[in-house]
Amino acid sequence: MTDLIPVISGLSKKTDSKIVMVVLDGVGGLPMTPGGPTELEAAQTPNLDALAAHSQLGLLELVGPGLTPGSGPGHLSLFGYDPLIYTVGRGALSAVGIGVKLNAGDVAVRGNFATLGEARTVLDRRAGRPSTEKNVQIVELLQAAIPEIDNTPVEIYTESEHRFVVVFRAGTEPLGANISDVDPQVTGVPPRDAQANDEASQKTANLVNAFVQRAEAALSAEPQVNGVLFRGYSDVPHFPQFSDVYKLSAACIAGYPMYKGLASLVGMSVLDVDSVEDAPEGKLDALRQSWNDYDFFFFHVKKTDSTGEDGNFDAKVKKIEAFDAILPEILALNPDVLCIVGDHSTPSKLASHSWHPVPVLIHGGHGRSDLAARFTETEGQRGSLGLRPGTALMPLLMANALKLEKYGA
């Protein structure tokens, strides 16, 4: 990819037109059997189908050929930031998303509660997805048991369900964040030891390994939430601000802290919404109530990803259909440009993120309709947008909204 940020920031202009970007997290899929449908193809989506008939469709590669995006890199790409240039760990995104202030030299780590069996073998990387209330109880237990390690203050925070955040506070010397993951990202093996990839990160690796050991001891009486897995270490990142690059007043409408954190880091206003993902009314209300205050809206839908990670094809289909049911509420606001896209693929067949390009739909503005008839992976291949890098999306949305000046003489 090419870093388009410096170019776009010189061409963007303020107008009254409004852009809505809906991110159906992990929406891309695969057939469960050869010749079968993907989740998008199996879903009954009359509203998306009607929209696709008057839109531009295509496919996006979020990071690069064959590279599987994490949620952070995937969203950065959608926002126009090349994720190979602008990097941030999941820990900082989660920490900022729940309102934790990070200071220079601190390291934030994203954690999963897990279920461990004999010989510390990982049985479930998400501990059965405990309730957020259970998460709060476990975090309180751990915070009491691990207030500090080797005179380094340790702060532990609930994110949601099985996710939590640990912040190691730096003293007089900054902590490094270049560390390998504890999370093996597969079951049937023990958690890995954290390894420092440079000398500056050795102390942090020692802190992480000590935390894992103490946490397992503190959770030994728990039948299901009895282990912790870490990945996504990060210190304080700094990005060009969204408003400076695009001349947009941007709002984030999301429930999960990680996405709020990412939006906050690029300078979007994070709106207060009901975080219950199965009840979209809170997000729709936030969109309606703030419609006159912003000209760009990032509207995030999570459960299309969670159900894919669980390997539940039918449940993912239902989440896609649930979004289709609320699509008319978004269209009723008459955005000048509406985009529907995924931040990565999460095929139920693989029960994980994958490298497959995601479908993208751009409606409104001054684009051309094309031959694609549905918002699916196969129809995306037929669309006029073709296969493009994820960082091409924001320039396309800006152009369709007439928010870019001509490049060159």
SS3 166: strand
- Any idea which residue has 């695969």 for tokens? 30
Percent of the chain clearing pLDDT 70 (strictly above): 98
- What domains are there in the chain, each with its CATH number? 5-87+239-400 (3.40.720.10), 94-234 (3.30.70)
Compute, in degrees rounded to 10, the torsion defined by CA atoms 90, 96, 100, 103.
80
Which 8-state DSSP code applies to residue 101? Answer: P
Cβ atoms of 268 and 150 closer than 8 Å = no
What is the model's pLDDT at position 278? 63
Q: Each residue of 283-313: pLDDT tens digit? A: 999 999 999 999 999 999 999 999 999 999 9
What is the model's pLDDT at position 246? 98
d(CA 68, CA 353): 7
d(CA 351, CA 195): 27
SS3 84: coil
State the pairing for strand pair 55-61/358-364: antiparallel
- Average pLDDT of the chain to the nearest whole number: 93
d(CA 316, CA 404): 37
What is the model's pLDDT at position 277? 62
Question: From residue 111, how far is each of 211, 227, 232, 267, 384 by CA, in Å?
Answer: 11, 10, 8, 25, 41
Mean pLDDT lowest among 105-119, 198-212, 249-263: 249-263
What is the model's pLDDT at position 72? 87
Phi and psi angles of residue 252, each rounded to the nearest 5 degrees, phi first: -105, 130
Mean pLDDT lowest among 50-54, 68-72, 90-94, 361-365: 90-94
Look at the pTM and tell me if it is higher than 0.75: yes
Cβ atoms of 382 and 57 closer than 8 Å = yes
| In the predicted structure, residue 1 carries a pLDDT above the cut 60 | no
Q: Each residue of 70-127: pLDDT tens digit? A: 888 999 999 999 999 988 777 887 888 788 888 888 999 999 999 999 999 999 999 9
What is the model's pLDDT at position 258? 80
